[in-house]
Amino acid sequence: MTPTRWRHARQITQVASVLIFFLLALLTYRGVETLIPLDLYLRLDPLAALAAMIASRAVIAGMVIALAAILFGLALGRAWCGWLCPLGALLDWIAPKSNKVAPNRVSPGVKYVLLLVIFFAALLGNLTLLILDPITVLNRTFGGAVLPALNVILTQIEIALYPVAPPAQPALDWIEQNWRGTLLPAQQTFYEMGWLLALTFVGIVALNWVTPRLWCRSVCPLGAVYALLAKISWLRPRAVKDCSHCAACMRACPTGAIAVTKTGFTVDPAECVVCMDCVTACPEAVIAITFGGNRERDRGAFDFSRRHFIGGALASVGIVALARSAPQAKRDFPHLVRPPGARDFTQPLGAPGTHDSDFLSKCIRCGECSKVCPTGALQPSLFEAGVEGFWSPQLYPRLGYCDFSCNACGQICPTGAIPLLALETKRTTVIGTAYIDQNRCIPWASFRPCIVCEEMCPVPEKAIKLETVEVVAPTGKSVRVQRPRVVSDLCIGCGICESQCPLTGNAAIRVHTPMPLPPL
């Protein structure tokens, strides 16, 4: 094919990749089953796969296919970044229109140092910095910010149009009857961290105005993985005839991979994303991207040194040590409720699986569980689990609850941090314990009837019991009320009682983190 056709092929591939990514994300959001894994992009993510396996000290079967991505990198270098990465494609499309590529104001070596820190932190069982993996960034932003905001916009448009545009009413009714509960959520979901997720994505996009593709060139840790593979890859740009040194290729290169000198041009294969822009821009057809190539003309913009290696290791040790010396490492946040099976509270304290750190050593902060949760109960945490647990999933019962008939989070989790539990097992798995605040509970504090929590409790034996008592109200009148009481041995901590409590503000019944059994 001609260079122009190769460039068009790349653009078409980028569009297809972005559409497939968001289609799979949308199907995940609605809990649709497909032949293609809904977490396909995460399974093909070598950074997430290797880090999770190192941190958890286990082979994760579902992510073994990331080996194919490594072979892809060995053959084609950073073609993933230029052709298939959905975040890279979006950054290409949202970049400022300019014929002049600005010099890189941040060293491309930053991404390598960041990769080293992630690697050594994974050796210590920490995966916090995987929040910077581009696939997890896009996943969290789409599920926690874009989709909820989009549903608000569509709902408001329907509300505005329905009374003032009678001809549109049949179409709006059809949308609600056929799409609501399938394509669109039956109820609006609310994400406390949605604004922060959106601002993070906007910040990554804004880096384009500092330097084109600055995120890809200097920050992206997944890009660093492919950059290391590209240093020995088979596919690379090369000169097929003498160069006139016009520097058109250097100006066209979006990642600053090309340098033109008096003796010709040199290419840093670690920064080349195989975008074909240089091939198209060259007026004399000097450049070709082929297998093999003249490696003597390759230039390395950044090389590891002993200082970088030691610095990355020390930074990892310092970060993990500080995170695990924070108060949250000694005592759990009282309302830190994890997804079903993420922690095993049936084992004695100190046994494997009882610590929150065991869960965090497997969680890659991808946001898949939050996206698939039908009630919007699973949300990215902030600092409830300390810095080490930043953006790991947490149950927010006031915004949603763990559906008694749902085990979707275990089905979608790519690393097994949330185990796949049979529905019957999940229904008896304890994730928390509810406690009643008698100073706020309506029957206890106001002497008025309310049995919402008991009615909502899904446990067949009812973990909330009602006790009928006669009390004297502040008015001096004797009244009969039914006071709720939690049976701790039956409560699984699903949070529906807290979610449905009619009080404004904090609920009168709240789910707390259960305590593992003490050793015998």
Residue 192 CB burial class (10 angstroms; 0-12, 13-18, ≥19):
middle
Examine the pLDDT at 41 and tell me if it is beyond 90.
Answer: yes
| Residues 237, 288 contacting (CB under 8 angstroms) | yes
Long-range residue pairs from 420-427, CB within 8 A, at least 24 positions apart, any chain: 421/340, 421/341, 426/340, 426/341, 427/492
Examine the pLDDT at 254 and tell me if it is beyond 80.
Answer: yes
pLDDT bin (cut points 50, 70, 90) of residue 391 is very high
**Rounded Cα gap, residues 67 and 57, in angstroms:** 17
Using DSSP, state whether 486 is helix, strand or coil.
strand
> Strand pairing of 393-395 and 378-380?
antiparallel
55-89 pLDDT, tens per residue? 999 999 989 999 999 999 999 999 999 999 999 99
Bridge partners, 265 (sequence order): 260
The Cβ-side half-sphere exposure at 370, using a 13 Å CA radius, reads 33
Residue in 236, 322, 312 with CA at minimum distance from that of residue 278: 236
**Rounded Cα gap, residues 308 and 290, in angstroms:** 32
* DSSP for residue 451: -
State mean pLDDT over 9-17: 95
| Six-digit token string for 361 | 């050593």
Longest dimension (CA), the chain: 102
* pLDDT of 246: 83
Report in angstroms the alpha-carbon separations of 191 from 36, 46, 335: 28, 29, 17
Report in angstroms the alpha-carbon separations of 362 from 64, 172, 366: 15, 44, 11
Q: Say which residues have a Cβ less than 8 Å from residue 5's Cβ, sequence separation at least 6.
A: none
Q: Which of 18-22, 237-241, 442-446 has the lowest mean pLDDT?
A: 237-241
pLDDT bin (cut points 50, 70, 90) of residue 233 is confident
Examine the pLDDT at 335 and tell me if it is beyond 80.
Answer: yes
Q: How far is CA 269 from the centre of its chain?
A: 29
Residue 330 CB burial class (10 angstroms; 0-12, 13-18, ≥19):
exposed
Examine the pLDDT at 319 and tell me if it is beyond 90.
Answer: no
Residue identified by tokens 């600092």 is: 383
pLDDT bin (cut points 50, 70, 90) of residue 346 is confident
Examine the pLDDT at 298 and tell me if it is beyond 70.
Answer: no
pLDDT bin (cut points 50, 70, 90) of residue 262 is confident
**For the chain, what percent of residues have pLDDT higher than 70?**
93
State mean pLDDT over 125-153: 93
* pLDDT of 91: 94
Based on its alpha-carbon atoms, the radius of gyration of the chain, rounded to whole angstroms, reads 27
State mean pLDDT over 246-273: 83
pLDDT bin (cut points 50, 70, 90) of residue 303 is low
User: What are phi and psi for residue 239, nearest 5 degrees?
Assistant: -90, 130
Mean pLDDT of the chain: 88
pLDDT bin (cut points 50, 70, 90) of residue 32 is confident
Vertex 224 angle, CA 86 and 85, to 5°: 10
Instruction: Label each residue of 28-44 as H, E or C.
Output: HHCCCCCCCCCCHHHHC
Vertex 323 angle, CA 365 and 378, to 5°: 30
**Rounded Cα gap, residues 226 and 217, in angstroms:** 12
* pLDDT of 484: 96
Using DSSP, state whether 263 is helix, strand or coil.
coil
CB neighbour burial string for 398-420, b if at least 16 within 10 angstroms, e if fewer: bbbbbbeebbbbbbbbbbbbbbe
170-196 pLDDT, tens per residue? 988 888 888 887 777 778 888 889 999
* pLDDT of 295: 52
Report DSSP letters for 51-79, one per residue. HHHHHHTS--GGGTTHHHHHHHHHHHTTH
Prediction pTM value: 0.89
| Six-digit token string for 62 | 């579902």
* pLDDT of 1: 65
User: What are phi and psi for residue 234, nearest 5 degrees?
Assistant: -85, -25
Examine the pLDDT at 461 and tell me if it is beyond 90.
Answer: yes
Residue 153 has a CB neighbour count (10 Å cut-off) of 9
